Amino acid sequence: MVEVNWTVLTYMLIGLFAFSGFFKGWWKEAVVTIFLIFLVFLLQVPAAAQALIDLINFIIAALWGLLSETYRIIFGDFLKTGLGVETDGGIPRIDAGESQTWLIILIIFLGLAILIGRITLPNSGRISRPYFGYPPTFGGSILGGILGGVNGWLIVSLVGAYLNGQNLPGGSSAAATLISPNTVLVQAVDVPTTTIQDSFLPWFFVALGLITLLMAIRSRVTVLKDKEGFRKLDYRPPLGHRKIEVSVSDG
């Protein structure tokens, strides 16, 4: 049995994410925050979580029908052995009541948030001349560090809630699905009494996510009117970020 101090782990992740957010700035951390808050909302509304999983299963079934038998066998074995995805009549089907399902979704959401942040606010334009980037100002870095710390706490809290499993669709304790006879058992100790599922906290963070979403869009996107009176969307450096251009000769 391996013991993990949950409080120490939480502080470590908060510190790491705060450190990362300081260098990335608030806007990219805001994208991560929005994705995490959406997962918090799903945790509070199991019916919405089940609807999302049903939609994913529908998409999987539709795509599965387009694959040849050979690829079905290959992908089926990978999904079952690698991700623990069960099959329903030969079609992979994920279970909304399993903690492993939501841990994978959490990882995917984090990857999507990072990718979207880099695409929508690039560090440099490699295919353009001059190169450009949007480094944060000192104020943007401070706010990025704060949001990064919040994101670290949200991630740890979501993982704990998924392992507990009580708020998942069906209300089953899904932690046992992660344990096999060949698995080293891990026991969390010094677990905080305050969690993301307590009273008003989830809805506070949902409100925070909505405000962050509006601020991120309003700060990055603007509407311009040309001489003919037509309106178009334009993009500007978000508050707390500045655009820098570096001219590089082609030679």
- What is the tens place of the pLDDT at every residue in 171-205? 654 443 444 444 445 555 555 555 676 667 888 88
Domain residue spans of the chain:
2-246
Tell me: the pLDDT tens digits for 49-100? 999 999 988 888 888 777 777 777 677 766 666 666 666 557 778 888 888 8
How many angstroms separate the most distant Cα atoms in the chain? Answer: 72
**Distance separating alpha carbons of residues 224 and 159, to the nearest angstrom:** 43
Q: Cα–Cα distances in Å, from 191 out to 111, 144, 213?
A: 27, 27, 31
Contacts of 152 (CB under 8 A, 6+ apart): 10, 13, 14, 15, 16, 17, 18
The larger pLDDT score, comparing residue 166 to residue 107, is at: 107
What is the C-alpha end-to-end distance of the chain, expressed in Å? 61
C-alpha to C-alpha distance for 202 and 215, rounded to whole angstroms: 20
Percent residues over pLDDT 90 in the chain: 26
